[in-house]
């Protein structure tokens, strides 16, 4: 498998200080700027990212060099767009970090505004295209003048801006998951078959290695029961030789919760993602658990929550991702420890590869995988990207295909249930 070139632009080690000020006067200076402080990180063609910025009280202190506040992932087309000639005053695009004090919003009904402290800009240059690790900036830089004492230096911002090559494998389901499509790897205009996907909707357990994990019942053919639950869905991923190398199947049926007509957070449906057990032929080893439910609102969403399981563990596990996907328009499910750590209450670790069950302790984070799917009722052909450093073999990629298929099918599994079906109409499930 040949990867596509991507680079990771990371911005971290953020901190603010007032040079030449002692501890108390520095704190008062920041407070005068209506702390807390935050920043908006902008790069042309990408959504604006925000991050808080801590105050550094000691003149000698350096913010954590390993902390990441923001990451952008760029492919070849993104770099070409950023390096394209712009206007006379700005020949190329810039990474821009605008620093603010205070918060947006209102207090007691009175609108409040943030105060902009200063801005850091870094022009996109040809070194961005070299595909080598490079530190673009690391250290302190003044971003504003002092308004408290004329002639004194203003606020300084500490940051570390780094480029790292981060190649990815890109895969596409060539048809809707329920039609058992072929899965191809994309490399420019080239499509190379890698896997096949076999979907089934069994109501009675079949004699195969997954039977040990199966939760279906033989008497589930009752029409009314069938209308009120979605279970027995299974996806197997086969390599080019026809061998099953990964699978996903429903272990907890998708059923409407009490008092409503949809799968609620209180009782989510669940998939078990499994891979062949190398120690026991014809057996399967649990790898992950995907739960999904519907969040009601002005725009309904489907929440997908994924846990990585250790060997022999079917419950619990390590939370790797919890993503809301627009039920109507679709969206992106991803495992990205940088993005998750900025929003999660507890750090989310990153495994070194899909088969590394012992590596559940936090390691160098970043992008692991993404899966883009369509909304309910639409022809969804999942597009999957995998970080090369997390894939050690073809079988590693297969397990992520099984996860992607489960995410895609969860959009349909979480559709509202019909309370009344006209006589003679076909079962929508």
Half-sphere exposure of 50 (CA within 13 A, CB side): 8
In a domain, 418, yes or no: no
Residue 1 tokens, joined? 């498998």
According to the model, what pLDDT value does residue 197 have? Answer: 94
Task: Give every CB contact of residue 17 below 8 A, 6+ residues apart in sequence.
Answer: 26, 55, 56, 57, 59, 140, 155, 156, 158
Point out the domain boundary residue: 107, 138, 165: 165
Tell me which residue has tokens 């995907």: 290
Helix, strand, coil % over all residues of the chain, rounded to 5: 15, 40, 45
Quick one: 191 and 156 in the same domain?
A: no
Quick one: 258 and 396 in the same domain?
A: yes
Q: Would you put residue 395 in left (φ > 0), alpha (ψ -120 to 50) or beta? A: alpha
Q: Are 368 and 390 in contact (CB under 8 A)?
A: yes
In a domain, 1, yes or no: no
According to the model, what pLDDT value does residue 165 have? Answer: 93
According to the model, what pLDDT value does residue 229 have? Answer: 81
As a dihedral over the C-alpha atoms of residue 395, residue 400, residue 405, residue 409, rounded to 10 degrees, the angle is 140
In a domain, 82, yes or no: yes
Point out the domain boundary residue: 143, 165, 187: 165
Rounded distance between C-alpha atoms, residue 347 and residue 281, angstroms: 36
CATH number of the domain encompassing residue 23: 2.60.40
The size of the chain, in residues, is: 429
Task: Give every CB contact of residue 31 below 8 A, 6+ residues apart in sequence.
Answer: none
Mean pLDDT by 10 residues, the chain (429 residues): 91 88 52 71 93 85 87 91 70 88 61 80 91 94 65 81 94 95 92 94 53 42 58 94 94 88 91 88 88 92 92 70 94 86 50 43 67 90 93 92 97 80 44
Rounded distance between C-alpha atoms, residue 393 and residue 389, angstroms: 10
According to the model, what pLDDT value does residue 211 have? Answer: 43
Write the burial class of residue 426 (CB in 10 Å: 0-12 exposed, 13-18 middle, 19+ buried): exposed
Rounded distance between C-alpha atoms, residue 73 and residue 2, angstroms: 18
Rounded distance between C-alpha atoms, residue 281 and residue 286, angstroms: 14
In a domain, 196, yes or no: yes
Q: Are 254 and 279 in contact (CB under 8 A)?
A: no
- At 349-392, the pLDDT tens digits run 555 444 443 333 333 568 999 999 999 888 889 999 999 988 88
pTM: 0.80
Quick one: 263 and 330 in the same domain?
A: yes
Rounded distance between C-alpha atoms, residue 272 and residue 255, angstroms: 17
Q: Are 362 and 349 in contact (CB under 8 A)?
A: yes
Residue 235 tokens, joined? 């996806």
Q: Hey, how many other C-beta atoms are within 10 angstroms of the C-beta on 388?
A: 16
Quick one: 198 and 241 in the same domain?
A: yes
According to the model, what pLDDT value does residue 153 have? Answer: 60
Write the burial class of residue 61 (CB in 10 Å: 0-12 exposed, 13-18 middle, 19+ buried): exposed
According to the model, what pLDDT value does residue 159 have? Answer: 96
In a domain, 227, yes or no: yes
- Specify the 3-state DSSP secondary structure of 344: coil
Quick one: 254 and 269 in the same domain?
A: yes
In a domain, 205, yes or no: yes
Residues 156, 71, 290, 361, CA torsion sign: negative
Quick one: 261 and 407 in the same domain?
A: yes
Residue 370 tokens, joined? 């993404």
Q: Is-cis flag, bond preceding 420, omega within 30? A: no
Task: Give every CB contact of residue 205 below 8 A, 6+ residues apart in sequence.
Answer: 211, 214, 216, 218
Residue 334 tokens, joined? 């991803």
In a domain, 419, yes or no: no
- At 125-154, the pLDDT tens digits run 989 988 899 999 999 999 975 444 445 567
According to the model, what pLDDT value does residue 429 have? Answer: 43
Residues spanned by the domain of 147: 8-165
Residues 195-224 as b/e (b if ≥16 CB within 10 A, e otherwise) read bbbebeebeeeeeebbeeebebeeeeeeee
Rounded distance between C-alpha atoms, residue 272 and residue 313, angstroms: 11
Point out the domain boundary residue: 129, 148, 165: 165
Quick one: 124 and 179 in the same domain?
A: no
Quick one: 14 and 59 in the same domain?
A: yes
Quick one: 132 and 189 in the same domain?
A: no
Task: Look at residues 293, 288, 284, 231 and name the one whose alpha carbon lies nearest to residue 262.
Answer: 293
Q: How many structural domains does the chain have?
A: 2
Q: Which residues lie across from 325 on neighbouring strands? A: 302
Quick one: 344 and 392 in the same domain?
A: yes
Quick one: 150 and 284 in the same domain?
A: no
> 385 to each of 63, 172, 410, how far by Cα in Å?
32, 9, 19
Rounded distance between C-alpha atoms, residue 361 and residue 339, angstroms: 18
In a domain, 53, yes or no: yes
Residue 3 tokens, joined? 């990867």
Quick one: 239 and 370 in the same domain?
A: yes
């Amino acid at each position: 498998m040949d990867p596509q070139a991507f680079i990771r632009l990371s911005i971290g080690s953020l901190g603010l200080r007032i040079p030449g000020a002692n501890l108390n006067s520095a704190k008062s200076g920041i407070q005068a700027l209506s702390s807390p402080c935050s920043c908006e990180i902008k790069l042309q063609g990408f959504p604006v990212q925000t991050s808080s910025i801590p105050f550094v009280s000691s003149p000698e202190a350096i913010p954590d060099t390993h902390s990441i506040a923001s990451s952008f992932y760029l492919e070849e087309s993104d770099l070409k767009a950023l390096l394209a000639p712009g206007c006379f005053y700005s020949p190329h695009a810039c990474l821009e970090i605008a620093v603010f004090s205070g918060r947006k919003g209102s207090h007691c009904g009175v609108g409040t505004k943030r105060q902009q402290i200063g801005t850091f800009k870094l022009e996109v240059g040809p070194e961005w295209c070299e595909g080598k690790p490079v530190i673009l900036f690391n250290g302190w830089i003044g971003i504003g003048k002092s308004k408290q004492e004329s002639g004194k230096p203003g606020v300084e911002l500490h940051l570390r801006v780094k480029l790292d090559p981060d190649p990815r494998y890109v895969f596409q389901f060539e048809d809707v998951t329920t039609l058992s499509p072929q899965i191809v790897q994309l490399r420019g205009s080239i499509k190379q078959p890698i896997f096949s996907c076999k979907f089934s909707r069994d109501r009675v357990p079949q004699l195969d290695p997954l039977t040990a994990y199966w939760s279906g019942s033989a008497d589930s053919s009752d029409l009314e029961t069938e209308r009120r639950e979605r279970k027995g869905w299974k996806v197997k991923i086969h390599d080019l030789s026809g061998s099953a190398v990964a699978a996903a199947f429903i272990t907890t049926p998708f059923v409407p919760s009490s008092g409503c007509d949809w799968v609620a957070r209180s009782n989510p449906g669940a998939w078990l993602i499994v891979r062949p057990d190398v120690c026991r032929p014809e057996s399967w080893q649990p790898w992950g658990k995907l739960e999904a439910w519907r969040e009601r609102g002005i725009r309904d969403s489907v929440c997908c929550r994924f846990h990585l399981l250790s060997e022999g563990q079917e419950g619990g596990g390590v939370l790797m991702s919890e993503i809301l996907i627009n039920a109507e328009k679709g969206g992106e499910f991803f495992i990205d420890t940088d993005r998750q750590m900025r929003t999660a209450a507890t750090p989310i670790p990153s495994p070194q590869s899909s088969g590394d069950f012992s590596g559940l302790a936090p390691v160098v984070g970043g992008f692991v995988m993404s899966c883009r799917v369509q909304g309910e009722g639409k022809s969804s052909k999942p597009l999957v990207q995998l970080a090369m450093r997390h894939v050690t073999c073809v079988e590693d990629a297969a397990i992520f295909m099984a996860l992607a298929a489960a995410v895609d099918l969860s959009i349909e599994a979480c559709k509202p249930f019909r309370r009344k079906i006209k006589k003679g109409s076909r079962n929508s499930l």
